[in-house]
Amino acid sequence: MQQIAIKINGKQYHLLADDHEMLSHLIREKAGLTGTKTGCEQGSCGACTVLMNGNAVLSCITPALRCQNAEITTIEALAKDGKLHRLQEKFVEKGAIQCGFCTPGMVLTALSLAPTINMKHGADSLIRQIKEGLSGNLCRCTGYKKVIEAVSEYLLEINGQQGNNPAKPGSLKVIGGAVGTPRPYIEAEKKVRGAAEYADDIVAKNSLHCKFLRSIHPHARIENIDIQDALNLQGVHYIATGKELPVKFGVLPVSQDETAMAVDKVRYIGEIVAAVAADSEEIAAAACKLIKVKYQLLMPFFTIDDSLNDAGDNEKIHDVGKFNNNIHKKAELRFGDQREGLKNADVSNKMLFEFDGVNHGFTEPHAATAIWDENGLTIITATQVPHYLHRALAKTLEIPLSRVRVIKPYLGGGFGGKSDPFPHEIIVSHLARKTGRPVRVRLSREEVFLTNHGRHPSKMTVEMGISFDGTIKVLDAAIAIDGGAYGSFGVVTSYYNGVLLQAPYKLDNFGFCAYRVYTNKPQCGAMRGHGAVNSRFAVESLIDDLALRIKMDPCALRLKNFLDSNTLTVGQYRITSNGSREALEKVMEKSGWKERIGKLTKGNGLGVACGFFISGSALPILWNELPQSVVHLKLDFDGRVLITSGSSDIGQGSDTMLAIIVAEVLGIGMDKIFVLAADTLLTPVDFGSYSSRVTFMAGNAAKDAAENLKKEIVAAVIKKVDVNPDELNFNDNRVFSNDKKVDFSWMEIVDILTAKRGAVSVSGKYISPKLGGDFKGAGAGLSPSYSFGACIAEVEVDTETGFVKVTNVWGAHDCGKAINPLAVEGQLEGSWHMGAGQAISEQMKYYKGLLFNNNFLEYKIPTSLDTPDIHASIIETIDPEGPFGAKEAGEGAIHPVIPAIANAVFNAVGVRITKLPISAEDILAKMKENKPSGDNK
């Protein structure tokens, strides 16, 4: 350890640094500047970027001692005198901040880039330079589009040039005109300053650090765990093993199949076997190495086929089910008559599709701190579902629900990957109870990948038939999905793979059978577009193929088959507003489809696909009669409305959405709203951020609450003055009658309301209407509303290498009503970026159950250079039950983009993609098979 003199943000520090300590650790843990984030610790994501003597460096791979006498600038230094740096303002203004975890690194990289940019070669050159300059900074939320816009406008401005959208300094806080006004997130400024605290930024005094010993075998019985040597290590406080936490949990009541640590056996490489609480991470890690585990190895099951088949004499992964195999769930539903449908089809095709698993790739690794005191357990953790975690902690720790408090701080992206209760959350809670000290844990990126819960690897055979006039006659899918070692959301995923094919097209004869199997790999779960992304790919590829066979334009075929608004699907989903047609027509227009299709040169292609998704599940995960969402409002003497909601803002902007809705109903400015969310002690229950439910359900609850507050105000006003309550208007921070004879300012209203009463609290709720059929499985995929969308993708395929470059995505998404258009665009752009990743480069690759690509270097999230130019269109159809007509926007958009890219590849080189990710090798091989007849141009 050496003393280091280092100037950080102009302040001289004299710190003790370990000799091999990294700068990021020094900045965060010793200087306490947590605006600098660590996302990968291997220099692959850019979140830790700081300026060292003015140059951008990756602080996670910069030795702290190299910085002796250096001047370090972190994100915290950029704002001066209470005012953001102009570049920060641009990030806020353009909506370039979603979860905000990559933002500090992105801003500092952009700032260091500024002097190197050559402004003399026009707009395209500028964008290219920005994309190149930011290409070491991964962002999983924005698709980079708004980031690039922010940087571009900043550069134009500082170089004395105005962009298309002249800057308006000081215009960050949009007030009034609430719903439908594009606005930055309410917390955007805090995020861009580096002041927003994420789970690993919040340090409880006197915390211990937790590290895990993980299984190195995919399937083995645990015969003995010897912790004695590890316990003897100085600085170790407690070592927990599985037997201390034997109660099973799982996010679904039907899949309570997991324990916090392996109890008798391990089921995947990476499963937690023991946990150490120690004075430092380093000591805890050293102790883990001293724990000796004796295993008896069992035959592992790695593939879908292994697990579908009879296990023979080998031990099954879970001792459940009637049969001697590893099938976790079979889901089958049939409507109409598929045989008849096939008979009536003029043209049909059956194709086999295969998909590798993919991971959410959120930039913030899981982290949590558990504190145990006289109030029981408090856990601060990166979770999408505080409510379900609350229940799981009470269950597994065997304590009353009233002794658990879950707090979600700012969260660095989720995409479904933080929507289960997790072992590490249960374990640190247990360790805090045992040691009487707060216990922290932060997972390495490798551990995040091992925790997984990503999209299931899948295989499916899908058959479709159509008539010569393009009417879809039949759809039948046989699906198998690889769930990994535990259940997670898998039962739902199994159904979603099938049921979410019953729209957006009218189908009379539709059926599917889906199997989910257990394998000895990290478990899969919910990921953006849950369940139906892969099967949607299959169907949209088949439609493309069938359109070609009957020589019909694939857009025309889709337009012919769309379901109407206000109708039922074959499986009795209630479709309310439906913007499929408008969405497809919009992307056709924007991409110049009619003018360009069929006229591109070989290697260049356009492809189209459509999709739909639920706006929240109409049924709760855990069957009970709680409303799906409750929102409380409190109005006190100061005129501010406090919104409390259990909903979990994971970077998608739900806190802002709640504020906008309440502001709109009450006609007040956003400055009079304060949102307190996702603290299970203080906020009423919301089921969490999954299945695209928050805007619809929490938004409706907020609207209901605001309307109830309005009623209270009206009642107070009519007691005081003679006015017809129906004539009272709430607008522009005033309450006034039509004839303006009654006209109160908001503060006058507050005085009237609180007189002799004090603060007024009201509640609002959302309960989904009863929907769906009465057959088994009818509840799967039921939603009070559905979103619809379409994408057209453009690709360039190198016919010599097979390399696919996605150049453009034109997407349109029917979100009902964009409560905040800037946020909706951000969700769409992020979805299309993520979809492009699954299409082109992302896959989880295993070696004997061991994940190969467990880092951001080998797991290939598209960078700013790899992400296509995205052109988003919002379609508004005003859903009758959504808050102000709103539906979901965060997940459904990913569905069409992947098949659109694959269909574009077919259009470019005549190769039908049936495996994801699209591989250059497959393309070349198939092009060779196709010769000489393969050229479709």
Q: Please report, as ranges, the residues that interact with another protein according to CB under 8 A.
A: 2, 18-20, 22, 41-44, 46, 49, 55-58, 61-63, 65-66, 68, 109, 112-113, 132-137, 214, 216-217, 233-234, 269, 282-283, 286, 444, 446, 800-801, 841, 847-848, 850, 852-854, 857-858, 860, 862-863, 865-866, 920-921, 924
Q: How far is the CB of 711 from another protein (least distance, A)?
A: 56
In angstroms, the CA 785 to CA 765 distance is: 17
Q: Which amino acid is at 54?
A: G
Q: How far is the CB of 56 from another protein (least distance, A)?
A: 5
Nearest to 535 by CA among 904, 899, 918: 899
Q: How far is the CB of 60 from another protein (least distance, A)?
A: 8
Structure tokens at 493: 């995923």
699: enclosing H helix or E strand:
helix 699-720
In angstroms, the CA 583 to CA 504 distance is: 12
Contacts of 771 (CB under 8 A, 6+ apart): 573, 574, 618, 782, 783, 784
Residue closer to another protein, measured from CB, 135 or 314? 135
DSSP β-ladder status, 915-916 and 869-876: unpaired
Residue closer to another protein, measured from CB, 794 or 866? 866
Q: How far is the CB of 497 from another protein (least distance, A)?
A: 27
Residue closer to another protein, measured from CB, 44 or 363? 44
Backbone angles phi, psi at 282, to 5 degrees: -65, -45
Residue closer to another protein, measured from CB, 195 or 233? 233
Residue 200, helix vs strand vs coil: helix
Q: How far is the CB of 794 from another protein (least distance, A)?
A: 17
Backbone angles phi, psi at 12, to 5 degrees: -80, 125
**Residue by residue, what is the 3-state secondary structure of 500-568?**
CCCCCECCCCEEEEEEEECCCCCCECCCCCCCCHHHHHHHHHHHHHHHHHCCCCHHHHHHHHECCCCEE
Residue closer to another protein, measured from CB, 623 or 847? 847
Residue closer to another protein, measured from CB, 66 or 343? 66
In angstroms, the CA 159 to CA 156 distance is: 5
Find out whether 850 and 269 touch, Cβ atoms under 8 Å.
Answer: yes
Q: How far is the CB of 645 from another protein (least distance, A)?
A: 38
Q: How far is the CB of 866 from another protein (least distance, A)?
A: 5
Please tell me what DSSP assigns to residue 601: P
In angstroms, the CA 415 to CA 714 distance is: 41
In angstroms, the CA 337 to CA 333 distance is: 12
Please tell me what DSSP assigns to residue 151: H
Residue closer to another protein, measured from CB, 105 or 892? 105
Residue closer to another protein, measured from CB, 63 or 180? 63
Q: How far is the CB of 48 from another protein (least distance, A)?
A: 10
Residue closer to another protein, measured from CB, 739 or 800? 800
Q: How far is the CB of 18 from another protein (least distance, A)?
A: 7
Q: How far is the CB of 10 from another protein (least distance, A)?
A: 22
Q: How far is the CB of 488 from another protein (least distance, A)?
A: 22
Structure tokens at 514: 């889906």
Contacts 24+ apart (CB under 8 A), 618-622: 618/768, 618/769, 618/771, 618/772, 618/779, 618/782, 618/783, 618/784, 619/768, 619/779, 619/782, 620/687, 621/251, 621/252, 621/253, 621/388, 621/687, 622/253, 622/388, 622/391
Residue closer to another protein, measured from CB, 125 or 162? 125
DSSP letter for each residue of 324-345? SS-EEEEEEEEES-HHHHHHH-
Q: Which amino acid is at 269?
A: I
Rounded (5°) CA angle 301-303-902: 160
| CB hemisphere CA count around 102 (13 angstroms) | 29
Residue closer to another protein, measured from CB, 69 or 324? 69
Q: How far is the CB of 520 from another protein (least distance, A)?
A: 12
Residue closer to another protein, measured from CB, 654 or 863? 863
Q: How far is the CB of 122 from another protein (least distance, A)?
A: 20
Residue closer to another protein, measured from CB, 289 or 594? 289
Structure tokens at 215: 């299984």
DSSP β-ladder status, 869-876 and 804-816: parallel
Residue 712, helix vs strand vs coil: helix
Q: How far is the CB of 117 from another protein (least distance, A)?
A: 12
Residue closer to another protein, measured from CB, 277 or 404? 277
Find out whether 874 and 593 touch, Cβ atoms under 8 Å.
Answer: no
